[in-house]
Amino acid sequence: MDTPQQQAILTLCLLAAFADGANDREREEIRRLAESLAGESGNALLSALYQDVLLKRVDLAKAAAVLNDPAHKQLAYEMAVCVCDADGVASPAEQQFLRELRDALGLDAGRAAQVVRDADAVAAAPLASGTATSSMSDAEMDKYILNHAIANGAIELLPESLATMAIIPLQMKLVYRIGQSYGYQMDKGHIKEFLATAGVGLTSQYVEQVGRKLLGGLLGAVAGGIGRGLGSMATGAAFSFATTYALGQLAKRYYAGGRQMSTALLQQTYQSLLAQAKQVQGQYSGQIHQKAQSLDATQVMKMVKE
């Protein structure tokens, strides 16, 4: 996959992120990640694309026209669907955007509809199966958080776009289970607000995952599949491990303390925990790769729905 194709897919993902008029907080998160990725890689591509999309210097038709390979077209559509569903089932505005994208890419309507159904099933998955669970000890909770972080890092190594989309619902289920252990009953709205207050954007997080994969060259051989053949730890896996681990530990402190953290303290604590998680991630890279070897998209979807 060459640079113009990377640029086209990233542009379509950014257009998808703004399709329903992203709120100011989400826009700020996407701006931040664009600058962050540019700083980390020395590649200002995503930051420049963000400006192009924000200032309406590029549109759907122009970006879609760059993609000629059927595999790249399918990948772009799947990623756009996942971006639209990252914060819940696509809104009417997002659904209209996806129909226009499908037509611009010349995709089969039936196959495109199946992608949307699969993504909607992930986005609409319940936080819990309905079975009551007991509280966890401190040690049990730490192990629970670590296992989820390892699993999400492993999922990031899978080639399927929809598998990667499962990371966010699994993070929400993690927060839900931790809150439940401390006696709190929550719905998705409460958890989304908790994540947003901590500075974690749902849509921006998925866009960041896409950006890291594309800019890192991890999607260059999409037709042949990626993931299990990777010889070294992908930065995306490290990112997903760290964010999941930090969110779990943040939720543990927040609910153990009776949900008394101020917004500033919540954000500061999350950033501190994220830095710590990035430091320890290397200790678990072997377990992440081992976990990835035993996973496929079907198993991931089962995890989301449990």
Q: Report in angstroms the alpha-carbon separations of 69 from 3, 6, 33, 80, 105.
A: 14, 12, 28, 17, 10
Same domain, 143 and 114: no
Smallest CA-to-CA distance from 154 within 233, 208, 243 is with 233
Regarding whether 222 and 98 lie in a shared domain, the answer is no
Q: Do residues 267 and 250 make contact, with C-beta atoms less than 8 angstroms apart?
A: no
pLDDT of residue 79: 85
The C-alpha atoms of residue 292 and residue 299 are separated, in whole angstroms, by 11
- Both 151 and 213 in a single domain? yes
pLDDT attached to residue 212:
65
User: What DSSP designation does 283 have?
Assistant: G
pLDDT per residue as tens digits for the range 77-111 = 988 898 888 888 888 999 999 999 999 999 999 99
Cα dihedral value 31, 173, 243, 9, nearest 10:
-40
What pLDDT, on a 0 to 100 scale, did the predictor assign at position 230?
A: 39
The confidence score (pLDDT) of residue 234 equals 54
Same domain membership, residue 97 and residue 169: no
Query: What is the pLDDT at residue 239?
Result: 81
Whether residues 299 and 151 fall in one domain: yes
The answer to whether 174 and 186 have CB atoms below 8 angstroms apart is no
Spans in the chain with pLDDT lower than 70: 1, 22-47, 129-133, 161, 209-236
Residues in the chain, how many? 306
Does the residue 222 lie in any domain?
A: yes
CA terminus-to-terminus distance, the chain: 36
Q: Are residues 115 and 191 in the same domain?
A: no
- Does the residue 128 lie in any domain? no
137-146 long-range Cβ contacts below 8 angstroms, 24+ apart: 141/178, 141/181, 141/252, 142/252, 144/174, 144/177, 144/178, 144/248, 145/174, 145/178, 145/244, 145/245, 145/248, 145/249, 145/252, 146/245, 146/284
pLDDT tens track for 163-205: 778 888 899 999 999 999 999 988 888 998 898 888 877 777 7
Three-state DSSP string of 194-217: HHHHHCCCHHHHHHHHHHHHHHCC
CATH number of the domain that residue 20 is part of? 1.10.3680
26 and 70 share one domain = yes
Instruction: Enumerate the H helices of the chain as residue ranges.
Output: 3-17, 24-41, 45-54, 60-65, 70-85, 92-105, 109-123, 138-155, 161-165, 167-181, 188-198, 202-215, 235-256, 263-280, 285-293, 297-305
pLDDT at 220: 39
The CA distance from 112 to 102, in Å, is: 7
Residue 146 lies in a domain: yes
Same-domain pairing of 172 and 264: yes
* 115 plus 155 within the same structural domain: no
**Residue 129 placed within a domain:** no
Domain of residue 204, residue span: 138-305
Buried b (16+ CB within 10 A) or exposed e, 35-70: eebbeeeebebbbebbebbeeeebebeebbebbeee
On whether residue 46 sits in a domain, the answer given is yes
Does residue 236 sit within a domain? yes
Same domain, 76 and 222: no
Domain count, the chain: 2
- 150 with 294, same domain: the answer is yes
Please tell me whether residues 21 and 163 are part of one structural domain: no
Rounded CA separation 147/153 (Å): 10
